[in-house]
Amino acid sequence: MDRPELALGQLHAFAVLAEELHFGRAAERLGVAQPPLSRQIHRLEERVGHRLLVRRPGRISLTEAGRELLPAARRALEEVETGLRAARLAGSGLSGRLRIGFAASLATTVLPGVLRAFRDRCPQVELDIREMTTAPQTAALLGGAIDVGLMREPPDEPGLAARPVLSEGFVAVLPAAHPLAARRTVPLRELAGEPFVLLPRDAGPTVHDRITGVCRAAGFEPRPGQRAVEWQTVCALVAAGLGVSLAPESVRQLRLAGVAYRRTDHPEARTTVAVCHRRGEPGPLVARFVAAVLGGRADEGAGPLAGNLI
């Protein structure tokens, strides 16, 4: 970019003088003495190559060149002020565009409160919200396609920083007519031999392994049946009688007909939701979003949103 031909300070001095048409009053507004103001106007006239003011005893008026320059000078000053405000907002994380990935199971639990909290803090930020399972969300974060993510069981990935938001237990998801649905608590070992509706491992390896690990802790290997990428589909397939499943407690919010959600006899088995971003010093927008998620400053521990759903 070429160096600007006109100095901003000179344009400001000229605009104020054009309004006051009096060197004394203009100098007072600008907080300078009259001689420096006169020198600024003189330098501006030298750059333009024409007189901008007609000086007469007790009277100042604009020349034709001055009248032509004045609107452009005001626009330039306004543009710079607008740019400064925008830069300050962006630099402090109060404007811009934030791309957010989220796990579908959080749509009715964590996500609405998080978005409300962030919008209250940063109403001028444009949000681009994308529903993604853990593996695609991880790839999108590392590849720069999204800026921040809310994911279940984030992987141990060197390029990602993760802050826990909440921990929740698992529930057994059963067809409503299943004999075990009559119980308040389901012994997991009694699900041995049942076909399981599971998430594909490549969609969320850590979540998949956590569920199969819970089953192994109960003494059996889950027998794979149908597979589905989203929890709503998992529950729908269970309602259709195609198997049983283990799912995070928050799936109760789905309230699908034909499905029973029951606690298990392994309450210590839990799943974690975290807010994640690329490792390193996060930008101001990401830092403000993390702070909104955690209910405080980004460098504080988990706030009001952190905790148990059960």
In the chain the beta strands, taken as DSSP E runs, fall at 53-56, 59-62, 96-102, 125-131, 148-152, 160-175, 185-186, 195-198, 223-227, 245-248, 259-264, 270-278
The length of the chain is 310
Task: Give the range among 23-32, 46-55, 141-150, 291-300 with minimum mean pLDDT.
Answer: 291-300
Residue 84 clears pLDDT 50, i.e. is over it: yes
Instruction: Give residue 104's pLDDT.
Output: 82
Residue 5 clears pLDDT 80, i.e. is over it: no
Instruction: Give residue 309's pLDDT.
Output: 28
∠ CA 120-150-197, rounded to 5°: 135
- Interval 272-277 mean pLDDT: 92
Instruction: Give residue 26's pLDDT.
Output: 85
Residue identified by tokens 């192994």 is 216
More confident residue, 173 or 201: 173
Per-residue model confidence as pLDDT tens digits over 27-83:
888 888 888 888 888 888 888 888 888 887 767 888 888 888 888 888 887 887 766
Q: How far apart are CA 142 and CA 184, in angstroms?
A: 42
Please state the pTM of the whole predicted model: 0.65
Q: List all residues 6 or more positions away from 68 whose beta carbon is below 8 Å from its beta carbon.
A: none
Look at strands 259-264 and 148-152 and give their pairing. Answer: unpaired
